[in-house]
Amino acid sequence: MSQHHAALSRSSEPIPQQVPALHVVSPVEQETDLAAAEQAAGQFLRALGISTDSESLRGTPGRMTRAYAELFSPRSFDLTTFPNDEGYDELVLARNIPLRSVCEHHLLPFVGTAHIGYLPGRRILGLSKLARILEHFACRPQVQERLTKQVADWLQNQLQPKGVGVVIEAEHTCMTLRGVQATGTTTMTSTLLGLLRTDARSRSEFLTLTGLPG
């Protein structure tokens, strides 16, 4: 084959297409009305016998409104992935990702850490996106069990890895500051999918690295 024909042959080969980043935005169930929320917050405090007439408390309904608005507003982000050109097939794990969310039963915060890992398939994920995904699902009224599963299921669906594992440990102020007042108590939840659920070696490695018994 001549050099000219060889060049034509090479140029006709398909060029791999770059996978566009998925732009992830927070779900909006209804339009936010901060003015109405501030007015309602003031009424809520006064109904509990807390006067907002003093200089110290006059701005509290507004601060309360902005605080909850922030807790319920995750930042948008692009889910950046890259081709797994080297065929990396070992566990990728981000440990101790800070977590904050709000219990949907009492609207009190729960805080803790999450460990999120996966066994790569055809693509790998930008590491900072693991924290972004956690924030995306945590910034809304939640229960820890659902949050754990939502993060794992979303990663499985979007990244299609060979396995996903999510472990969350958190302190719920609805349990430690009220009711039973079990100070220092933490709650742990986990979701394992794919090989991290079915393969004993992979499961044991993930649980050991996250500090759980395998």
Catalytic residues: 103-106, 144, 172, 174
The pair of three-digit structure tokens given for residue 154, joined into one six-digit string: 């979303």
- What DSSP character marks residue 13? S
Phi, psi (rounded to 5 degrees) for 87: 65, 35
The helix (run of H) or strand (run of E) holding residue 130 is: helix 128-138
- Name the 3-class secondary structure at 181: coil
Question: What values do phi and psi take at 40, rounded to 5?
Answer: -65, -35
Q: How far apart are CA 41 and CA 50, in angstroms?
A: 11
Paired sense of beta strands 163-172 and 77-79, if any: unpaired
Category of 96 on φ-ψ map: left (φ > 0), alpha (ψ -120 to 50) or beta: left
Structure token pair of residue 61 = 């309904």
Nearest alpha carbon to residue 106 among 41, 174, 182:
174
**Angstrom distance (rounded) from CA 155 to CA 176:** 31
